[in-house]
Amino acid sequence: MATDREYAIFLDENDPLKGFKSLFMITDPEMCYLDGNSLGRLPLATVVAVNDFMTGEWGPEVVTGWGHWVDEAQPTGDLLGRATLGAAAGQVLVCDTTSVNFYQLALAAINARPGRKTIITDAANFPTDRYILEGIAKQLELNLIIIDNESPGTAENERITTEILEKYLSNDVALVTLEVIQYRSGARNDIKSLTDLVRSHGAFLLWDASHAVGAIEMDFDANGVDIAVGCTYKYGNSGPGSPAWLYVNKRVQAELQVPIQGWFSQGDQFGMGPIFERADGIRGFQIASPSLIGLRCVKTAFSMIEEASISAIAQKAATGTQLMIDLYDAWLADLGFTLLTSRNAKERGGHISLGHPDAARICVALRQFAHVIPDYRTPSSIRLAIAPLPTSYVEVWDGFQRIRDLVASRQYEKITESDSRVT
């Protein structure tokens, strides 16, 4: 039974990924870290890789190092695409931030559909994506449709289905943007069916995979994805502020022109000519010099993911989130919690979301009193994740036991307010 700690021990003993936890820096073994959906743990190999870069390359080579650094965003992108996205080489760049990449590809897609005046997203989408689209819509005088998937009865766990989306589509739509995994609820949207639907209307679908990459299989190439973006610091374990990535299928690369024409996307980059002539292939989507230290963090972390295999990682994510749901049923459902994530493993990723009227205070109390790290999302959600490489099943089990005990004892009521801007 899930409520027996021996069950979690059994899962750990039979976990094909159990050896990976020792490869991460864990300074406090008593802490239950269930927030890998926000920031992944530090791989020990990353410390070595960054030090080696500074002392073995940057230090002795100084500017001559650019001779082999200049194109590093591309092979690092190939690694990330191969390890996590189901993407063949020449379609992924590791560069910039998710927001910059989202803006770049959104505007490129809109401009590739001249005459179309409508763009679509959903109310539960990550705020930055919505804010960027609002800005673009205002600038270009476009019609921005925001699908209501938050009100009761409009969508199950915020999940967008083809039935929900289809009624908003027409030949006036240039772009649809969705999350692979909804950041708050943890709901998984079906990549292939939604992509096929949007493409059948002649529009682009831009996927934000930030809460999916490194947790589930996505098979971008096989599923016909045109464009996508995402971060690397969550399940990718590449560090706070690590470079993001963009994916552009070879099928549409020549069709899209990003609005920021940087010198790295210039065909004859070092010719320094007066006219911009875009480079062929994925380099045509790169703006500027890559963050080399950041790239080495990504390379190290995603090499670990490739070694583990995304299929094994996805299976552990499914098993781990099921353990969470089982413990919720047994321990938390009668304590005022509600489950905001699907019970169907194919409709969720690496985290679940629990609702509670006192969610904000509970999250603060878990950190202060119970040695558990979750995170809080307005208005009343607690997100809890299993990061398949550094997180054990026992860590999940212990964390949920502490949540139960803290809430049952009402210890969280000692929290009156938090002075932190970060939740």
Buried b (16+ CB within 10 A) or exposed e, 367-376: bebbebbbbb
Amino acid at the residue 148: D
Q: Is the model's pLDDT at 131 over the cut of 70?
A: yes
Q: What is the mean pLDDT of residues 345-372?
A: 97
Alpha carbon separation from 105 to 63, 334, 375 (Å, rounded): 31, 45, 30
Nearest-10 Cα torsion for 367, 372, 378, 383:
170
Helix ranges (H only) for 328-382 are: 359-365
HEC profile of 253-301: CCCCCCCCCCHHHECCHHHCCCCCCECCHHHHHCCCCCCHHHHHHHHHH
Span 14-52, pLDDT tens digits = 999 999 999 999 999 999 999 999 999 999 999 999 999
Average pLDDT, the chain: 97
* Kind plus residue range of the DSSP H or E element containing 109: helix 98-111
Amino acid at the residue 288: A
Residue at token pair 């039935």? 163
The pLDDT, as a whole number, for residue 273 is: 92
The pLDDT, as a whole number, for residue 53 is: 98
Q: Kindly state the tokens that stand for 193.
A: 């069916």
**Domain 5-43+309-414 -> CATH class:** alpha beta
Q: Which CATH number fits domain 70-307: 3.40.50.300, 3.40.640.10, 1.10.10.10, 3.40.50.720?
A: 3.40.640.10
Residue at token pair 């045109």? 226
Q: What is the mean pLDDT of residues 236-240?
A: 98
Span 60-117, pLDDT tens digits = 999 999 999 999 999 999 999 999 999 999 999 999 999 999 999 999 999 999 999 9
- pLDDT band, very low/low/confident/very high, at 1 (cuts 50, 70, 90): confident
The pLDDT, as a whole number, for residue 24 is: 98
The pLDDT, as a whole number, for residue 420 is: 65
Q: What is the mean pLDDT of residues 109-130?
A: 98
Q: Is the model's pLDDT at 395 over the cut of 90?
A: yes
- The model's pTM is 0.97
DSSP 110-154: HHTSTT--EEEEETTS-HHHHHHHHHHHHHHT-EEEEE--SSTTT
Backbone angles phi, psi at 16, to 5 degrees: -65, -15
Residue at token pair 């059948």? 200
The pLDDT, as a whole number, for residue 92 is: 98
Q: Is the model's pLDDT at 417 over the cut of 80?
A: no
Closest of 232, 227, 234, 231 to residue 205, by C-alpha: 227
Span 239-270, pLDDT tens digits = 999 999 999 999 999 999 999 999 999 999 99
- pLDDT band, very low/low/confident/very high, at 418 (cuts 50, 70, 90): low
Q: What is the mean pLDDT of residues 363-370?
A: 97
The pLDDT, as a whole number, for residue 346 is: 96
CA atoms within 13 A on the CB side of 29: 3
Closest of 94, 70, 72 to residue 83, by C-alpha: 94
Q: Is the model's pLDDT at 151 over the cut of 90?
A: yes
The pLDDT, as a whole number, for residue 423 is: 64
Strands (E), 42-116: 92-94
Q: Is the model's pLDDT at 306 over the cut of 70?
A: yes
The pLDDT, as a whole number, for residue 251 is: 98
Buried b (16+ CB within 10 A) or exposed e, 20-47: bbebbeeeeeebbbbbbbbbbbbbebbe
Name the burial class of residue 416, with classes exposed (0-12), middle (13-18) and buried (19+) by CB atoms within 10 angstroms of its CB: exposed
Are the C-beta atoms of 295 and 73 separated by less than 8 Å? yes
The dihedral region occupied by 187, where left means phi > 0, alpha psi between -120 and 50, and beta the remainder, is beta
Say how far apart CA 147 and CA 137 lie, in whole Å: 15
The residues spanned by each domain of the chain are 5-43+309-414, 70-307
* Kind plus residue range of the DSSP H or E element containing 385: strand 381-385
Buried b (16+ CB within 10 A) or exposed e, 263-277: ebbbeebeeeeeeee
